[in-house]
Structure 1
């Protein structure tokens, strides 16, 4: 593969594949549990925040290239270029890595949920739940695949993304026809909830489903004319993803109301079965959606693991991760790095709940994307920049962060405390690593002072 061989079509496919690839299947049940019929509106709000963040990323990327600080990059590069603070850049990078881990854990959780929804697949074996076992196995499988260096090319990604999008579009349009012409129940859009905070809180939780577009910034060497191609690809892919999410949310909520209450994570299967029943293909339609979900979540795990691995390798090169995390001089992603990412992901997906994992991942990306919007806003002096979008991204990110914590505290107290503990632990480890030289200098003096005082 030569540099610059990905054009606009391949770039749109990669960005759209990163968002559609498992996002709707993984977060739909969690978001619906928060805002019910207004789920479609939550996706719309999350998409708007993603657009604002994307504008900030594109603007910062352009400034980095114009200033001669490199060939562009992502969050870590932006922070280093505009603040010169390696500690802050490293902490942003660590937060992003934990977001990737949360995303993979979320996809693995959803993969297992849809696996046990298939006909004939038991939910327990000898009294042991199957879901955690399947989740860990799929993570392990893709760790092995990435160790072999497997990755879809741009052409393959076109085909894969087209297939995933086609299934969801057919599902959405067929469901809309069914709801309007076959079903006797009126279509519910959650009008009463639109003026409440629940869609905003749900949008914050669903934000992880819209993070895939920023992976393009780490593949710039493979993209032809990246300063023009990447913005076009992102501004095309996000609206398409929003439209699909909105359509699917409306259909699933209206056609599978019982499943929404009892088994929201796999409600799309029940909705597809309802649509298929109109032509005598209820079981087949449910299986198609389940298989599509398996395919989408699996490919999302693979793509995220690949990107996270290379992202971590770049941090190793910049001394933003401990040397023990991998060998930055290795060809491809360092083996130890992949194993660590896979192990942490497996622990998250085996012992966490889908709500907790989704909330943790969304919080990570909200922090990073909100920070990039704030950073872009500080660079608003140029006449070519429209400051309103970074401003909205900054305020929206801050509001989403606060509202998500409020939701977790009021509705999911256990998840709230778990997120707090994880956050404190991560910050402590980050500070111990990035401030290690200062600590080395201070600790001897502290010891000497205490000894003197004792004398």
Structure 2
């Protein structure tokens, strides 16, 4: 009996911080740099810092709701329990969030495969990248389905090793930077005068997805002891660390790599820059960092989102078979998410799906802040902080839709189309569940 309890409470603070870091530091730092520099130049570290403030404000409501409800359904369950009389909206949020996680897993796996075979003869083969991406999803699905403790220890190794590598990359850039710090701040001042505040906030909103993942800690509430201490501890530690990592690396990279090259190389700018500084070993170091980053993100996202899917399925808003567990692990849910993510990789169009994920997590974070404001007395939340979170997240949501409309309106149409499809599914399952409950209450 004692061993079963220990198995259920297998996640300590180190594992929980690792899960949050694994979910956040995926491919973000390897991709957002080029996009940001192309829009606002040397203001990039500032925009990334502002995005981190948005993430902290979003995390505040998640922490308060997580400690209050202690429900592994997290985002979905918070909304369901705060607004119990609106099952359709709970179902819709559940579908949006889970599909957002699935698209994120697919993107992480594709990024993993791209870095894994970069520089080899297979690098130009799209099918080689797809098959490797599907293979890495399968590996981490098996690890997650096998054991909570095994997943936690694997996540520890992947995350903390990747942090050491990212620290080494930053050190290399600082040591070999060709641009004096004074010159950087001079150019930053010029870009500040030339950039519109709206442009900076748009980039901050676009980088918000790079901070997504801290809420995965709450999905493991049944596998932790003292959640009232470990949930805020793990989330706040992880978010602060990620802000520090992103700001330091972006600052160091811009000292060492010409901005034109960062824009041209985009997601490979860190690898290319390290290669020019210390040769092939620099490139390999960045590749290893990217592989570890995406690996831990796949594992952490599978862990948290599969548990959230099981909770939603248990309420009848997904097929109920997805709610089944063995030794507390939703193995069918894990396999289903892995298969769906693999299908997305085979079909393609991951860039569009990523945009959907960006918008989804920003909107959902806004909804969580609104829910926390609704019950702020019960969660013992600050009215000022909660309102500030609502204001910032609402502004970010509007700006990212504005950016999509003015720059990539075709993608905006696709995002709206996906929302419509998911809304239809959520409506269907909510109606079916409502009818089932009615039959149970009034049997013939």
- The TM-score with structure 2 as length reference comes to 0.85
Give the number of equivalent residue pairs: 427
Verify the 8 A CA contact 1:103 1:358 in the aligned structure 2: yes
Distance, in Å, in 2 between the alignment partners of 1:298 and 1:184 is 37
Partner residue in 1 for 2:215: 214
CA-to-aligned-CA distance 1:45-75 (integer Å, 9 cap, x gap): 22111111111122223333xxxxx667512
Does residue 9 (structure 1) correspond to residue 14 (structure 2)? The answer is: yes
Instruction: Check the 8 A contact 1:143/1:338 in 2, yes or no.
Output: yes
Partner in structure 2 of residue 447 of structure 1: none
Is residue 37–residue 259 contact of structure 2 (8 Å, CA) maintained in 1? no
Deviations 1:404-448 (Å, cap 9, x if unpaired)?
1221121123222211111111112211221246799xxxxxxxx
In the aligned structure 2, how far is the partner of 1:378 from the partner of 1:184?
47
Structure 1 runs not aligned, ≥5 long: 65-69, 277-281, 441-455
Equivalent pair of 1:40/1:246 in contact (CA under 8 Å): yes
CA distance in 1, matches of 2:329, 2:28: 25
Write out per-residue CA displacement over residues 339-397 of structure 1, whole angstroms, 9 at most, x where no aligned residue. 43223322433454554333211111112111010111122346942112221222222
Determine the structure 1 residue equivalent to 2:272: 270
400-409 or 132-141, larger mean C-alpha shift? 132-141
Contact 2:76 2:308 in 1 (8 A): no
Contact 1:113 1:265 in 2 (8 A): no
Distance 1:140 1:252, change over 3 A: same
Structure 1 residue 47 corresponds to structure 2 residue 52: yes
Shift of 1:289: 0.8
Aligned to 2:283: 286
1:96 — aligned with what? 97
Q: Which stretch of structure 1 is more off in the superposition, 346-355 or 295-304?
A: 346-355
The CA distance in 1 between the partners of 2:304 and 2:213, in whole Å, is 10
| CA-atom RMSD in angstroms | 3.1
**Structure 2 unaligned blocks of 5 or more:** 1-5, 437-444
Q: Give the drift of 1:306.
A: 2.5
- Matched with 1:78 is 78
Partners in 1 of 2:16 and 2:327 — Cα distance?
A: 25
Structure 1 residues 389 and 354: alpha-carbon distance in aligned structure 2, compared to 1, 3 A threshold: farther
Cα distance change of structure 1 residues 184 and 49 upon mapping to structure 2, 3 Å threshold: closer
Q: Describe the shift of the 1:150–1:75 C-alpha distance in structure 2 as closer, same or farther (beyond 3 A).
A: closer
CA distance in 2, matches of 1:356, 1:16: 25
1:142-157 counterparts in 2 under 5 A?
142-149=140-147, 152-157=150-155
Give the TM-score normalised by structure 1: 0.83
| 1:62 counterpart residue number | 67
Tell me the alpha carbon deviations over residues 278-322 of structure 1, each in whole angstroms, 9 at most, x when there is no partner. Answer: xxxx11011111012112212211221232222211222222212
| 1:301 has 2:298 as partner | yes
What CA distance in whole angstroms lies between the structure 2 residues aligned with 1:224 and 1:55?
21
Task: Describe the shift of the 1:116–1:261 C-alpha distance in structure 2 as closer, same or farther (beyond 3 A).
Answer: farther
Shift of 1:334: 5.0
Please give the alpha-carbon distance, in whole angstroms, between the structure 1 residues aligned to 2:113 and 2:376.
45
* Structure 1 residues 258 and 151: alpha-carbon distance in aligned structure 2, compared to 1, 3 A threshold: farther
